[in-house]
């Protein structure tokens, strides 16, 4: 097996972004009325910075770490019981969310409008996955699942999507200026 050094770098970067997601998930940004947990924010940031494919891989790694019992989910929770529990769908949703958010940005432009669209679509994917698992684990009807799992989070979700787009673009810009991203993309 020919092991190019770029592959190793991708593995390390994805691993580190999974770790960053775990850390950001524990941070709450104190905004009045709706304190924003860093977990969904981290998903948007990861997708914006390292792109669709590696973002999704980082999220798979994050979910597996949680499954292995490391308390990486919001509120220092961890363990397979969280993934299989009623709220586990949101975490599985992160994988597709990161992929789609990254993909939309890669196919269009890194502007605030596009980032906002990409992150809103991503947020909806997360919520839909969450509602599906909520329905099956707790034997809810579709109406109950959407009522408890999607609607209450839409407004907060939009605020989070805006924050993720804005911060993601700001951080990406700085990383490009520091010539850290082109190196990674060339290597990848």
Partner 1 sequence: MNNIIIGQYVPGNSIIHRLDPRTKIIVIFFFVIFVFFANSVASYGLLVLFSFGCAFATRIKLEYIAKGLTPVWLLIVFTFFLHLIMTREGDVLFTIFSFPIYSGALIQGISISLRFFLLILVTSMLTLTTTPIEITDAIERLLQPLKKIKFPVHELALMMSISLRFIPTLLQETEKISKAQASRGVDFKSGPIKERMQAIVPLLVPLFVSAFKRAEDLAMAMEARGYQGGEGRTKLRELKIESRDRWTFLFFAVVIFCLFLTRA
Q: Which residues bind partner 1 (CB under 8 A)?
A: 1, 3, 5, 7-9, 11-20, 22-23, 26-27, 29-32, 45, 49, 57, 60-62, 64-65, 67-72, 75-81, 84-86, 137-141, 144, 163, 166-167, 170-171, 174-175, 178, 180-181, 183-184
Between CA 67 and CA 78 the distance in angstroms is 7
Spatial contact of 17 and 46, defined as CB atoms under 8 Å apart: yes
Compute CA distances 139 → 31, 132, 134, 150, whole Å: 34, 10, 8, 16
Question: What is the nearest approach in angstroms of partner 1 to the Cβ of residue 60?
Answer: 7
Question: What is the nearest approach in angstroms of partner 1 to the Cβ of residue 123?
Answer: 17
Give whichever of 107 and 176 is closer to partner 1, judged by the CB atom.
Answer: 176
| Residue 17, both tokens | 């972004």
Give whichever of 132 and 137 is closer to partner 1, judged by the CB atom.
Answer: 137
Question: What is the nearest approach in angstroms of partner 1 to the Cβ of residue 2?
Answer: 9
> 43: closest CA among 84, 95, 105, 112?
95
């Amino acid at each position: 097996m020919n092991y190019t050094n770029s592959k190793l770098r991708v593995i390390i970067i994805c691993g580190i972004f999974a770790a960053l997601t775990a850390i950001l998930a524990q941070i709450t940004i104190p905004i009045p009325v709706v304190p924003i947990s860093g977990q969904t924010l981290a998903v948007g940031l990861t997708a914006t910075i390292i792109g669709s494919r590696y973002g999704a891989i980082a999220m798979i790694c994050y979910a597996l770490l949680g499954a292995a019992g490391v308390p990486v989910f919001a509120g220092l929770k961890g363990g397979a019981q969280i993934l299989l529990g009623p709220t586990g769908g949101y975490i599985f949703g992160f994988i597709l969310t990161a992929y789609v958010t990254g993909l939309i940005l890669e196919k269009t432009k890194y502007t605030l409008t596009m980032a906002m669209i990409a992150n809103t679509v991503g947020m909806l994917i997360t919520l839909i996955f969450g509602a599906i698992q909520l329905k099956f684990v707790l034997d809810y009807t579709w109406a109950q699942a959407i009522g408890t799992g999607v609607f209450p989070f839409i407004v907060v979700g939009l605020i989070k999507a805006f924050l993720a787009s804005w911060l993601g673009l700001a951080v990406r810009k700085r990383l490009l200026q520091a010539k850290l991203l082109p190196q990674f993309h060339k290597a990848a």
